[in-house]
Amino acid sequence: MEMETGCPCCGRPVAAPWKLTIQPLRLYREWRPDGQRHAAEHRLCDACSEWLGGLVAIACGEGAGTAVFGSPNGGGRRAVFDDQCQVCREMPADRAARIAWVSPGGATLGVFACAGCEAWIASLAADGRTVRGVADREVDGPYGTWPHPNLRGIRVRLAVEDSAARAVALETCERMAVAVVREQADIAVVEATARGSAARALRTGIQGGRGSVVLAGLRARKDLAAALQAGARCWMTVPLTPQQLTAALVAALRPAGRSGWEPETCLPIADPATMDRPVVLFTPAAGADRFEVAWLLRRFARGYDTVEWLDGRIAVTPRVHADQLPQVAARLRLLLEGRATAEVVGVRALPGRGRFEAAG
């Protein structure tokens, strides 16, 4: 049963006569409705429908205005093929969605979107309040202001072709007084691609002297996994936010010595004995693409949040006060649209933790 009053996107008690329908698709021999994920429908008021349509148009490179930070970006790539994501122009691997705005009169305007763009659009439709009306840079809030660690004197080399990610990286480095150089540097930022660019870069000497980080789109799992094997310290998703990059640079400078990477999700394997904050634990649904779940959580987590593999589940540790955890869990759960269930788990109840405490 649906609430008849109110628009979920803006939270205002107004009529919501628009519909945003999302039909998940899966590539069998052609794109067909995904048997494992249900179609979803979000109600929108006039203002929200226009706002969200405008954001998508900007992300598509068609609208005028300022993109919300963290929004997808075509990065100058052109739409050539029918099965390119119409928002970010990536070629979806095996999952995508048809998203349609349906006007009160029944007129429909649709886009074909990759899983990342689908999650972004759906999450904004379900609750746009965290993004709406705030300056573009504050999308990373309400986690407080963007912390600038002292990275002065650090030299960064960018092996990144994605023009939007590159622009964010350059601007972020400039704001932190971090030098971007063309030669050997302290930290190398390499981009994973379907062509294996990241692993090749690391193997051919584009290593940071102190550490390397990888930027990865949804289709770049193989190259990402290879780059982690080749010694990269951490990874971020494309599109990138300044906070994520900042956090990654800090992580790259930390001494290595992690307990390794889970190969399917490319997430670091958590050590429950050292976890000292409550976490949101995500259990991927049967049949869900676990890398996609991990990637989406990494994509929408804030920079300093950790996303780790914990005993068959994915543990997100948001850097927020404990009383905000249920909100963060709810938002991330919305983003995953049925790909995983979520629960907030206290430190003592963490999987693998009981043994440890009983022994201590």
Of these, 22, 25, 40, 48, which contacts Zn ion (CB under 5 A)? 48
Which residue, 101 or 304, has its beta carbon nearer to Zn ion? 101
Nearest to 122 by CA among 209, 36, 37: 37
Which residue, 88 or 249, has its beta carbon nearer to Zn ion? 88
- 9 lies in the binding site for Zn ion (CB under 5 A): yes
Of these, 22, 55, 60, 88, which contacts Zn ion (CB under 5 A)? 88
Of these, 7, 121, 125, 187, which contacts Zn ion (CB under 5 A)? 7
- 131 lies in the binding site for Zn ion (CB under 5 A): no
Of these, 60, 68, 96, 117, which contacts Zn ion (CB under 5 A)? 117
Which residue, 91 or 253, has its beta carbon nearer to Zn ion? 91
- 20 lies in the binding site for Zn ion (CB under 5 A): no
User: What are the DSSP E strand ranges found in 117-199?
Assistant: 155-159, 179-181, 187-192
Rounded (to 5) percent helix, strand, coil in the chain: 30, 25, 45
Q: Is 106 helix (H, G, I), strand (E, B) or coil?
A: coil
State the nearest-atom distance from the C-beta of 93 to Zn ion, in Å: 11
State the nearest-atom distance from the C-beta of 91 to Zn ion, in Å: 9
Of these, 22, 56, 85, 228, which contacts Zn ion (CB under 5 A)? 85
Round to whole Å and give the CA distance between 195 and 201.
11
Q: Is 339 helix (H, G, I), strand (E, B) or coil?
A: coil
Note if the bond before 142 is cis, omega within 30 degrees. Answer: yes
Round to whole Å and give the CA distance between 221 and 84.
18
Locate 34 and state its tokens.
Answer: 């995904």
- 87 lies in the binding site for Zn ion (CB under 5 A): yes
Helix residue spans in 207-305 (DSSP H): 221-229, 242-253, 290-300
- 220 lies in the binding site for Zn ion (CB under 5 A): no
Size of the site for Zn ion (CB under 5 A): 11
Residue ranges binding Zn ion (CB under 5 A) = 7, 9-10, 45, 48, 85, 87-88, 90, 114, 117
